[in-house]
Amino acid sequence: MGGGLGRTPMIGKKIAGFVPKEDLLAYLEAVMRVYNMYGRRDNIYKARIKILVHEIGVEEMTRQVEAEFAELRKAGALHLPLEEVARIEAYFQPPSHENLPDDSAELNKAVLADRDFANWVKSNVAQHKVPGYAIVNISLKPIGGVPGDCTSDQMDAVAGIAEKYSFDELRVTHEQNLTLAHVRKKDLHAVYDLLKAHGLATPNIGLITDQIACPGLDYCALANARSIPLAQQISERFADIERQHEIGELKINTSGCINACGHHHVGHIGILGVDKKGVEYYQVTLGGAADEKTAIGDIVGRAFTEDEVVDAIETIVTTYIGVRQNGERFIDTYRRVGIDPFKESLYETH
């Protein structure tokens, strides 16, 4: 507990390895009660669980939650019976997959025959745990487009595809893309053709142009700087798909203010819009990650102007390509070499 982004980014800490299912609600109530009683009330920005955990420390927080939990258990009221868990679970059953061979002759043939399709499969299709099925990630990041935007016609098309090819289920991801969770491998090419016809087959999932951006100053009253036009410029700068694959997995997250809706703290490259005396500036962080090695990015140095920031991103990418070993990902290179090579290339020439 105690994790969160916003103006005070913190990585959550573990206070209980495992809580029995039946006690889950009581345990959460214990957490909420400790927070309610001891959380900060003097400053609304500090009225957060993460602030309490940070101030008293995770050991003390754990001790208090456990003590409260013991009291709540005595009352025994918030017990979650296993039959209730089973009743709820019934609503989340996987769909009835067909029994299929894992290998699809149709797919193998199409991959060989259609190079664009093969590229799309490589970046946008993920493995499914059920044989013969695949997961399709629909990129809402066309080159130069607004990250996460989708027209009503595209929505209609996607809904139709989901209905016909993916058990009528469509998911929206926090990375501002869509996911068809259960597509038969033999249907992948048909799905691809339909997506392509609606401008939804950009093959860039996980690549540098698959950025997260908040609405920014163009749409948001809280923002200090624009996010969307910057994301569009970066997308255009790195438009070449061969180059994107050469760069590999790289997540750029942009927020137009410290509230961090674009999750910039956990972008491999994070961009934060700030206002300095009425002028938009962009602060850049490196090394953030929202994976199993969660990290808050490090500020690389003084902020860049609107005119400088896309070049700065390019310099960071070029520096990475220069120091990476054995095709390691940007984030792995950063974890190995640290911030210094990037600082040097960004600021010594200025």
Question: Which one, 36 or 108, has the nearer CB to other proteins?
Answer: 36
Cβ-contact 231, 269 below 8 angstroms:
no
Q: Judged by CB under 8 A, does residue 24 bind other proteins?
A: no
Site track 102-141 with other proteins (rule: CB under 8 A), x = hit: ----------------------------------------
Question: Which amino acid is located at 199 in the chain?
Answer: G
Dist. CA 62–CA 277, nearest whole Å: 44
Q: How many residues bind other proteins (CB under 8 A)?
A: 12
Of 77-85, 113-121, 163-171, 199-207, the segment contacting other proteins by CB under 8 A is 77-85
Residue 349: strand, helix, or coil: coil
CA 208 → CA 154, 273, 292, 313, 317, distances in Å? 23, 19, 20, 10, 10
Query: Nearest 5°: phi and psi at 226?
Result: -80, 145
Residue from 55, 59, 84, 314 that binds other proteins (CB under 8 A)?
84
Shortest separation between residue 6's beta carbon and other proteins, angstroms: 18
- DSSP code, position 117: H
Residue 280: strand, helix, or coil: strand
Shortest separation between residue 68's beta carbon and other proteins, angstroms: 9
Q: Judged by CB under 8 A, does residue 293 bind other proteins?
A: no
Of 30-38, 206-214, 268-276, 329-337, the segment contacting other proteins by CB under 8 A is 30-38
Shortest separation between residue 260's beta carbon and other proteins, angstroms: 22
Dist. CA 37–CA 143, nearest whole Å: 50
H/E segment holding residue 210: none
Cβ-contact 253, 264 below 8 angstroms:
yes
Cβ-contact 54, 10 below 8 angstroms:
yes
Question: Which one, 34 or 110, has the nearer CB to other proteins?
Answer: 34
The first and second tokens of residue 310, run together, are 């896309």
Residue from 56, 78, 100, 337 that binds other proteins (CB under 8 A)?
78
Q: Judged by CB under 8 A, does residue 36 bind other proteins?
A: yes
Q: Judged by CB under 8 A, does residue 218 bind other proteins?
A: no
Tokens 């979650």 belong to residue = 80
Q: Judged by CB under 8 A, does residue 77 bind other proteins?
A: yes
Question: Which one, 78 or 296, has the nearer CB to other proteins?
Answer: 78
Q: Which of 200, 199, 207, 198 is nearest to 179 (CA)?
A: 200
The first and second tokens of residue 251, run together, are 């997540």
End-to-end C-alpha distance for the chain, whole angstroms: 42
Residue 11: strand, helix, or coil: coil
Q: Judged by CB under 8 A, does residue 41 bind other proteins?
A: yes
CA 278 from chain centre, in angstroms, equals 30
Residue from 13, 33, 54, 97 that binds other proteins (CB under 8 A)?
33
CA 261 from chain centre, in angstroms, equals 11
Q: Judged by CB under 8 A, does residue 86 bind other proteins?
A: no
Site track 57-76 with other proteins (rule: CB under 8 A), x = hit: --------------x---x-
Cβ-contact 34, 64 below 8 angstroms:
yes
Shortest separation between residue 47's beta carbon and other proteins, angstroms: 8
Shortest separation between residue 52's beta carbon and other proteins, angstroms: 13
Question: Which one, 77 or 222, has the nearer CB to other proteins?
Answer: 77
Shortest separation between residue 37's beta carbon and other proteins, angstroms: 5
Question: Which one, 44 or 221, has the nearer CB to other proteins?
Answer: 44
Residues that bind other proteins (CB under 8 A): 33, 36-37, 41, 44, 71, 75, 77-78, 81, 84, 87
